[in-house]
Structure 1
Amino acid sequence: MADNIIRTTAGAPWVSNEDSKSAGKRGPLLLENYQLIEKLAHQNRERIPERTVHAKGSGAHGTLTVTHDITKYTKASIFSKVGKKTDMFLRFSVVAPESGGAEAERDVRGVAMKFYTEDGNWDLVGNNTPVFFVRDPIKFPDFIHTQKRHPKTHLHSPTAKWDFWSLSPESLHQVAILYSDRGIPRGYRHMDAFGSHTFSMWNDKGERYWVKFHFKTQQGNEFFTNEEAAAVIAQTRDNAQEDLYGAIEKGDFPRWTLYIQVMEEAEAERVSFNPFDVTKVWSHKDYPLIEVGVLELNRNPENYFAEVEQSSFSPSNIVPGIGYSPDKMLQGRVFAYADAHRYRVGTHYEMLPINRPKFPVKNYHLDGQMRFDEPKNGDGDFYEPNSFDGPVQDLKEAEPPLRVSGDATYYDHRSDGDDYAQPAALFHLFNEEQKQRFYKNFAGDMQGVPQHIIDRQLGHFEKADPEWAEGVRKALNDMKS
């Protein structure tokens, strides 16, 4: 049937899209006006719950092209040969704002990537920073609560934010990055991206390596000052989306160079620091960047809701040759991300075109929300093991055994290493102008925070470097005068 008329979801012709059926010209509407009811009912359901974090985002399609051989480290098919090109989808985001928030706020940016490999989808979910605020996932909900609106005032609370950070010394490294010049990227194209966590790779011999992923922007790192950001927000809340979409439409495709840092498996037991602590970075001197390939974004979505809003990424999506590590935050995210998508989008969210692999998938998941395919109901399709040629397991793709040791107990995450040396090293890289902006960024954001909380945070700055603490203290006093 070839026509160009509106139809109901059941396929009947839509009689009138201008007027509702009523009992007489001035009479009431009728309940039998099923077309009106369908239209209003669907409008009421046009939204799905926004992401609890990373609600405001932008996405684009692209490719990852391998330029250097890393098969000595991984058997992953995506890296199997130089020149290999893999389709991917990437979603950028700001973390704290709601879906209508401003993109030029001082905040960490999320970077979520889905690579459609021949062995299934590999999701790499990270940030524009190489570290994070907390190292134990049990603290993540508390941290996010401080970044969202106060349950009584429904306003953002600097007091809650600085109270949490000042009581969490492990946050200092990420806080230092956030309040540096890097805290407000000029747009998504002009920032680096990181897997942040420590991941693992293994080769076809079963040899495991620990790795960090780095994506360095080829557009150059560019940032806004507080004053520049305020001027941008006064004009638009969507500057990053406008910039990314516009560049791709013009054919100015943004690119990033992918690098990895590599540590031999046994070395993790010998190094003086915890290589699985997401609040720390690995020295580039000791673990130099190894070039891998080029990521290019070259196609805008045709429909934002279908491709960006419903795109769903999770660290639980791995492929043979790439896996996890004892990183506690990573272990927590393996559960939390997929669980969030099952709630927010639906049980079978990975059947959606933007999320599904590029080949047919067989398993024994049954029924539930969004089961919109046509599963067979014969023997061998709904249980396992069976005698009817149903899909079977593939033990040959098991990753090498992960060595673990220690008693199952509660370990104080605040006792895990030095939380001040790396933030201090970052501070020492700043020139005088950068330091002055750094101090003012802190002081401006601490306005209205109780003095005892400010003093506690200044104590952390002092432990990193007395000059840091004194600079912020002076900036605070200048704002009072």
Structure 2
Amino acid sequence: MTQPTNHDHITTESGAPVADDQRSQRAGAGGPTLLQDHHLLEKLARFNRERIPERVVHAVGTGAYGYFECTSAEVRRWTKAKLFSEVGKRTEVFVRFSTVAGSKGAADTARDPRGFAVKFYTEDGNWDLTGNNTPIFFLRDGIKFPDFIHSQKYDPHTNRQEPDNVWDFFSHTPEATHQFTWLFGDRGIPASYRHMDGFGSHTFSMVNQAGERFWVKFHLKTDQGIRCLSSAQAQVLGGEEPAYLQKEFYDAVEGGDAPSWTLKLQVMPEAEADRYRINPFDLTKVWPYADYPLIEVGKLVLDRVPENYFAEVEQSAFDPGNFVPGIGPSPDPMLQARLFAYGDAHRYRLGVNHTRLPVNAPRGVPGGAKNYGRDGTMRFDDNGGRRKNYSPNSYGGPAQTGADDDAGWSVSGSVGRHGLIPHRDDDDFSQAGALYRLMREDERGRLIDNIAAGLAQVQRADVVVRSIEHFRRADADFGHRLEQAVRTRRG
């Protein structure tokens, strides 16, 4: 066989050189293939096992590396997090954009919320801000999330997304009216990942050096300006290239056009939460800017795409439970559910050692993660060597810091099944109506057409009536025009 030139030799998984990678061993020129051909069997067996379980949601994604730079000294009033410790301080980041409902291979131009997850590799460990390109969500309690996703995914019988399921669930879920109004509006399909905003969506907490707590909302405002696709444009582009947004993003970054976002905060002193006119922990609502203005604190820049998609994007794992000192959770019920669900999903999909994969490891921490976790599938480092695997111990292993725990806040009441405490102006429809009235007339027309296109396909009349009624309660004109549009489409 001719020896390769200017290339490394192919080897088996054990490192042995492979003499022929084009022909299997056979019993004679016309005979059957031999079981002893180890390279053939190993190659086929590995191929059979290449796919790992896809994400249940956010399966279609794009990733990039870059940095976050703190631009504000004022932010130290609210948090002791080290990435905000001084103006000009830079922290490496990895960001993953994604759609929510589609399976691997689905068009990334679908009308769907976009995941906007940021991993900050700080010196105090990774902080994962697992947000979306919308400031709100469909639900306010995580116990409803599996049912919501089931209604969006493939039907058990038809194996396709069914408008009946989508709208039936919505018709029983009035709190989703605000998000549906957003989703079917112009911003429901971004023209580029570079041209959309990102939001932490949930309410989070910040604690400063004095131990004072603040409730915060995170906003990543695109510096490239907002650009969106119409439904017709998205169908054409997604049909021609299902990975249209991925290609557009990679081409831009690799061409030297590094996109950036300005990080801004809304800050609410802890004492104001109880008396604010809406419940500040309700994920279906925004905090109006008039009440809590945006405050600029930093810049996010993405300037490098991954070398290997599987290693760095498919295996990336974001966990909203990954906080650093100075940043923490809130009583938001959806966030509380995600604190469990995301990490558990990664342990199922990637294994218990997924946090040691290079893209997920805490790069900013000298020496990496230090704890007593051992063993498990795919433990590819020294597994702690001969060091003890329990705490506390007398052998010099890592010990707790003893620092104050800033993750707590006062609670009261009895254990039970509770919804969020309603505040003075809380309801499921007011903010959806305000969003509708904020739109220009041409935007309202497209919103009505987009909703009617799906709702007109629903077979059950009661589902259609209930769904329209939600929008009517948001705004009478909204509901009336939608009813007329559905009737026209149905003939």
Compute the TM-score of the two structures, normalised by the length of structure 2.
0.95
For residues 270 and 442 of structure 1, the distance between their equivalents in structure 2, rounded to whole angstroms, comes to: 36
Matches within 5 A, 1:12-411: 12-69=16-73, 70-358=75-363, 359=366, 360-378=368-386, 381-399=388-406, 401-411=408-418
Number of the residue aligned with 1:4: 8
How many residue pairs get matched? 479
Q: 1:474 to 1:400 in 2, by over 3 A?
A: closer
Instruction: Confirm or deny: 8 A CA contact 2:375 2:383 kept in the other structure.
Output: no
Q: Point out 4+ residue stretches in structure 1 off by more than 6 angstroms.
A: none
Q: 1:84 to 1:228 in 2, by over 3 A?
A: same
Deviations 1:427-474 (A, max 9, x none): 110121111111111110113212110100111111111100011011
One-letter code aligned to 1:433: D
For residues 215 and 41 of structure 1, the distance between their equivalents in structure 2, rounded to whole angstroms, comes to: 44
For residues 7 and 67 of structure 2, the distance between their equivalents in structure 1, rounded to whole angstroms, comes to: 37
Number of the residue aligned with 2:3: none
For residues 480 and 140 of structure 1, the distance between their equivalents in structure 2, rounded to whole angstroms, comes to: 31
For residues 258 and 420 of structure 2, the distance between their equivalents in structure 1, rounded to whole angstroms, comes to: 42
2:440 aligned to which of 425, 431, 434: 431
One-letter code aligned to 1:106: R
Number of the residue aligned with 2:465: 455
Deviations 1:279-299 (A, max 9, x none): 110010110000011111100
Instruction: Confirm or deny: 8 A CA contact 1:169 1:414 kept in the other structure.
Output: no
Q: SS of the residue aligned with 1:132?
A: coil
Instruction: Please report the RMSD computed on the Cα atoms of aligned residues, expressed in angstroms.
Output: 1.4
Q: 1:376 to 1:118 in 2, by over 3 A?
A: closer
One-letter code aligned to 1:309: E
For residues 327 and 421 of structure 2, the distance between their equivalents in structure 1, rounded to whole angstroms, comes to: 29
For residues 352 and 401 of structure 2, the distance between their equivalents in structure 1, rounded to whole angstroms, comes to: 24
Q: SS of the residue aligned with 2:311?
A: helix
Deviations 1:191-245 (A, max 9, x none): 1000000000111111111000000011111111112212212321111101100
Q: 1:353 to 1:76 in 2, by over 3 A?
A: same
Instruction: Confirm or deny: 8 A CA contact 1:146 1:160 kept in the other structure.
Output: yes
For residues 128 and 36 of structure 2, the distance between their equivalents in structure 1, rounded to whole angstroms, comes to: 47
Unaligned runs of 5+ in 2: 1-5
For residues 377 and 243 of structure 1, the distance between their equivalents in structure 2, rounded to whole angstroms, comes to: 45
2:429 aligned to which of 415, 420, 431: 420
1:180 to partner: Cα distance: 0.8
Deviations 1:407-444 (A, max 9, x none): 11112469773111111110110121111111111110
For residues 100 and 247 of structure 1, the distance between their equivalents in structure 2, rounded to whole angstroms, comes to: 22
For residues 291 and 164 of structure 2, the distance between their equivalents in structure 1, rounded to whole angstroms, comes to: 39
For residues 89 and 61 of structure 2, the distance between their equivalents in structure 1, rounded to whole angstroms, comes to: 29
One-letter code aligned to 1:371: R
For residues 279 and 385 of structure 2, the distance between their equivalents in structure 1, rounded to whole angstroms, comes to: 50
Unaligned runs of 5+ in 1: none
- The sequence identity of aligned pairs, in percent, is 51
For residues 317 and 38 of structure 1, the distance between their equivalents in structure 2, rounded to whole angstroms, comes to: 38
Q: SS of the residue aligned with 1:111?
A: strand
Instruction: Confirm or deny: 8 A CA contact 2:282 2:420 kept in the other structure.
Output: no
Instruction: Confirm or deny: 8 A CA contact 1:185 1:223 kept in the other structure.
Output: yes
One-letter code aligned to 1:173: H
Instruction: Confirm or deny: 8 A CA contact 1:21 1:33 kept in the other structure.
Output: yes
For residues 295 and 238 of structure 2, the distance between their equivalents in structure 1, rounded to whole angstroms, comes to: 38
For residues 396 and 345 of structure 1, the distance between their equivalents in structure 2, rounded to whole angstroms, comes to: 32
Compute the TM-score of the two structures, normalised by the length of structure 1.
0.97
For residues 18 and 273 of structure 1, the distance between their equivalents in structure 2, rounded to whole angstroms, comes to: 67
Instruction: Confirm or deny: 8 A CA contact 1:107 1:178 kept in the other structure.
Output: yes
One-letter code aligned to 1:454: V
1:397 to partner: Cα distance: 5.0
For residues 310 and 110 of structure 1, the distance between their equivalents in structure 2, rounded to whole angstroms, comes to: 16
Instruction: Confirm or deny: 8 A CA contact 2:136 2:201 kept in the other structure.
Output: yes
Q: SS of the residue aligned with 1:428?
A: helix
